[in-house]
Amino acid sequence: MYRASIHPDVLQQFPQYSGLLLYAENLTNGPSDEYSTVLLRRVEQELRERLSLEDLPKLPHIQAWREAYRRFGSNPKKFPCSLEALLKRVLKGNELPAINRVVDIYNAMSLEHLLPVGGEDWTKLASELALTPATGTEPFVVFHEGQETVTYPDKGEIIWADAEGVTCRRWNWRQCKRTQLTEATRHAYFVLDSLAPYTKDQLQAAGETLASHLRHVAPDCTISIEILGALA
């Protein structure tokens, strides 16, 4: 099983960053079901009851991520972090799409714990995974209007990448097609991204809650957790 690491240059530039990595073996994924959909809709409704769109710029974690994006040269208004993109959609009164059981769960956890959460199929990785500044030569493959499209990150952009290319651009902004979680995924890793003032207790609670939901839908799965970065 490939593992994840953080390039020293990322830690030097962003010393307050911590990532919780959750590895899950023998998952039972499948289409969105009552459990995952009810969870997602409940979290969305609870979020709308305690926050408004006007509150978004005041949230400490949103402020921290906007500043981080600016520091590596990305405009957070044009390219918001994954958490902000989800929050905007929900606080405008829209429902997130039900994608599949596991994706629904981690999207719900992102909203509930107010931090970026992503998940990918680790069997699709080509090597160890690294959070690293981009050289600008790493291919990023997505599908646009049914066609495979290859783009490249900006030099210095913070990316997750393996030997084959970018798995996620702009830290947590957009994931690639190659490693996406599908209904057939059995082995996955999840990244929970945090910046100060997010605390270790908050980060661990988010990881434990995600693990609990995964065990509910896949009782036979094996889960391991590690924290990288400032709170390790």
User: In this model, does residue 174 exceed pLDDT 90?
Assistant: yes
**Residue 174 near residue 118 (C-beta atoms within 8 A):** no
The residue segments making up the domain with residue 224 are 4-229
Residue 138 belongs to a domain with what CATH number? 3.50.40.10
pLDDT per residue over 190-211, tens digit each?
999 999 999 999 999 999 999 9
145 has pLDDT over 90: no
Coil vs helix vs strand at 199: coil
Residue type, 2: Y
Structural domain tally of the chain? Answer: 1
Q: pTM here?
A: 0.97
| Residue 15 exposure: Cα atoms within 13 Å on the Cβ side | 1
